[in-house]
Amino acid sequence: MSVLRRIIVNRNSILVFAVIMGLAFGGFAEHVKSFNVYILAITMTFSMTGLNLKVLNKFSKVATPFIVGIFLNYIVFGAVVMLIAWLLMPTEQLFYGFVVIAAAPPGVAIIPFSYILRGKVEYAIVGVTGAFVGSILFAPLYVRLFANHSGINPLDLFFTMISLVLIPMVISQILRVKPILGVVEKVRGRIVDWGFALLIFVAVGVNRQVFFSDPTILLLVSVALFLSTFGLGFVFDYLSIKIGTESAIRVPQNMLVTIKSSGFSVFTALTLFGKEAAIPSAVLAVMVLLYLIFLSIKSQHANR
């Protein structure tokens, strides 16, 4: 019973559990797939209750982290991941999967992990907010630039971003009012963790045949994501230290340049490009988890 409880309440266990269940019971993924849009909308809404848009009231004071969040998450990460995907991906559909990753908003885990890793949380909140707002424009732009031959209308993705980013962001601020926020904070973690887990379960489930029968694809996707997460994170951290960036700011910046929302990219890839395009996003979920664990261990050793 204690093992079951740990799976239910631990974010890392939930994600691993979702991957295992997708591999073992992938046949059920097709039934869950039809509910993906509702799962993602609810998950995005609750995840963004951690963002306080009131910090933007005096924009001049937060303009720098706001713009830096957009720059790191879309320009720097986007350029790196698109180049690596172009060099390594053997099929067009897999490449489109990386286009979706580049277009996705950042992972909301950046905010709590900024606190855990002793970074500047306020900087993380503004940076993540900026990247979420930026996703409404950058997501259609990435599709227009890198998936123009796919037959997908970038305008369709723009309206998707309005539905799954802007509207949930507005609703999330309503949920932040004092009488409601206390309840929301108690259930937010579980809803977000299990919502993203369901999306990962679907992505793994519909592609389980590929995972079992074509390890080459899995290896290439893993290498591409390792380079654009661990590799980019290492280079960015090295350069940030060289130019003298404050440690508390370097922490959220490092995550802004490496961490994307795997749940969002899973849904978008499946919806726009099909199940093969969702493979990179399914692997991304595991890679992000490993990177956050790595950062946590690194921080513990640095502060001994």
* 170-207 confidence digits (pLDDT tens): 999 999 988 888 898 888 888 888 888 888 888 888 88
In the predicted structure, residue 8 carries a pLDDT above the cut 50: no
- What string of DSSP letters covers 78-91? HHHHHHHHHHH-SS
Say what the pTM is. Answer: 0.87
For residue 154, how many C-alpha atoms fall within 13 Å in the half-sphere facing its CB? 17
User: Average pLDDT of 56-64?
Assistant: 85
What CATH topology corresponds to 36-302? Na+/H+ antiporter like fold (1.20.1530)
Q: For 99-147, write each residue's pLDDT tens digit.
A: 999 999 998 889 888 988 889 988 999 999 999 999 999 999 998 899 8
Residue 107 · residue 47 · CB < 8 Å: no
User: Average pLDDT of 284-303?
Assistant: 83
Residue 196 · residue 13 · CB < 8 Å: no
Question: Across the chain, what does the average pLDDT equal?
Answer: 87
The DSSP call for residue 120 is -
Separation in Å, CA 14 to CA 9, 187, 198: 8, 15, 10
Residue 275 · residue 290 · CB < 8 Å: no
Q: Rounded to the nearest 5 degrees, what angle is found at the Cα of 250, between the Cα atoms of 246 and 255?
A: 170
pLDDT of residue 230: 97
Separation in Å, CA 240 to CA 124, 245, 246: 16, 5, 8
